[in-house]
Structure 1
Amino acid sequence: MTDLYLIRHGIAAEHGTYQNDDERPLTKEGDRKTRKVADRLKELELEFDVILTSPLIRARQTAEILKAAGLSQQLEECAALAPSGNIHDWVNWYNHWKTKPSKALALVGHQPDLGHWAELLLWGEYRDCLIVKKAGVIGISLSSEGSPIGQSQLFWLTPPKFLIA
């Protein structure tokens, strides 16, 4: 089994403050809190074989903070993690990737997409119940056999306040 960590980007500039929403960066507070979360994940001895990130700047900045904290040596952009991205595109990537020896994978993206992806992985359908807070984490064990959709198990759901308290 592979442990998958779905991590939402940190606090970003308000909607409407940038002409192109894709360019909204992390705020100073978002950067600070995300660094604290990354440091706590490192203290918990987490390590990711790879961090995949949405191409949007706020997610990319979050992923770079995770990498700088020593959580992974490898960072890759993944278009499927952009808002309204298609989980099936990521599943195709994952099915190829999982043939390599691996332990853990991090995906940095956006809400509601990460919540929806978690629901699909766990239950095979959207239920609009799971919310990933900014810089929050959902941990899911992916099935090693067949598609991970509807066959995975939740092992961790935490907002950032429990990681940086």
Structure 2
Amino acid sequence: MNLILWRHAEAEDQAASDLVRQLTPRGRKQAQAVAKWLRNRIDGDALFLASPATRTIQTAEAFGDRYRVVEELAPGGSAQAVLDAVRWPEGVAETVVVVGHQPTLGHVASLLLTGDVADWSVKKAGIWWFQQRARGGDGQIVLRAVANPDLL
């Protein structure tokens, strides 16, 4: 299974509520740049799961309209809730892209790489790409890529 954590792009600072904050013009450009990068690297049948927040939905829409909104990915969720939503390590699909929030995505990254939840930062519009594979009868987690739109 491939698990790609994609933090929402830059959003406006204030709105009527946190869930309705929208991407800024810069955020839309960031989302487009990352979506273009992903298109060249993932299978066409990848599953996109987005938080119910407007900014995550707008980020996912940069890739197209093939995302599902998952309540468990809302701001303030736990790392384990994310892993449960994607059914890690078996997976609900071969490649799952989670469009979510900090600090949750940083918690997921640290949990996968170290076994402990720590306050790691995923930059806005950044991605962390993990792969679960079997080697010699043992499961391994491979960090395939870490990127942010400034580097693409």
Task: Flag whether TM exceeds 0.5 (same fold).
Answer: yes
In the other structure, the counterpart of 1:159 is 148
Tell me how far apart the structure 2 counterparts of residues 116 and 61 of structure 1 sit (CA, whole Å).
Answer: 23
- Residues 30-85 of structure 1 show CA distances to partners (whole Å, capped at 9, x for unaligned) of 1122112211222x3323521000100000110111225xxxxx311112211121
CA contact (8 A) 1:7 1:107 kept: yes
CA contact (8 A) 1:22 1:57 kept: yes
Change (3 A) 1:96 1:39: closer
Question: How many residues end up aligned between the 2 structures?
Answer: 148
Change (3 A) 1:3 1:79: same
Tell me how far apart the structure 1 counterparts of residues 123 and 48 of structure 2 sit (CA, whole Å).
Answer: 19
Shift of 1:95: 3.1
User: TM-score, normalised to structure 2's length?
Assistant: 0.83
Change (3 A) 1:51 1:99: closer
RMSD across aligned positions (CA)? 2.6
Shift of 1:143: 5.0
Tell me how far apart the structure 2 counterparts of residues 94 and 8 of structure 1 sit (CA, whole Å).
Answer: 16
Q: Which amino acid is the alignment partner of residue 122 of structure 1?
A: L
Tell me how far apart the structure 2 counterparts of residues 99 and 106 of structure 1 sit (CA, whole Å).
Answer: 11
Q: Which amino acid is the alignment partner of residue 12 of structure 1?
A: A
Matched, 1:21 2:18: yes
Q: Which amino acid is the alignment partner of residue 116 of structure 1?
A: H
CA contact (8 A) 2:79 2:107 kept: no
Matched, 1:140 2:130: yes
Tell me how far apart the structure 2 counterparts of residues 95 and 19 of structure 1 sit (CA, whole Å).
Answer: 33
Q: Please, which runs of 5 or more residues in structure 2 have no aligned partner?
A: none
Aligned positions of 1:1-165 closer than 5 A: 2-14=1-13, 17-42=14-39, 44-47=40-43, 49-67=46-64, 74-95=66-87, 98=90, 102-128=93-119, 130-142=120-132, 152-163=141-152
Shift of 1:115: 0.7
Tell me how far apart the structure 2 counterparts of residues 96 and 27 of structure 1 sit (CA, whole Å).
Answer: 32
CA contact (8 A) 1:11 1:29 kept: yes
Q: Please, which runs of 5 or more residues in structure 1 have no aligned partner?
A: 69-73, 145-149
Q: Which amino acid is the alignment partner of residue 157 of structure 1?
A: V
Change (3 A) 1:151 1:121: farther
Identity of aligned residues (%): 33
Greater shift in the superposed pair: 118-127 or 51-60: 118-127
Tell me how far apart the structure 2 counterparts of residues 34 and 121 of structure 1 sit (CA, whole Å).
Answer: 24
Tell me how far apart the structure 2 counterparts of residues 123 and 157 of structure 1 sit (CA, whole Å).
Answer: 16
Tell me how far apart the structure 1 counterparts of residues 32 and 71 of structure 2 sit (CA, whole Å).
Answer: 24
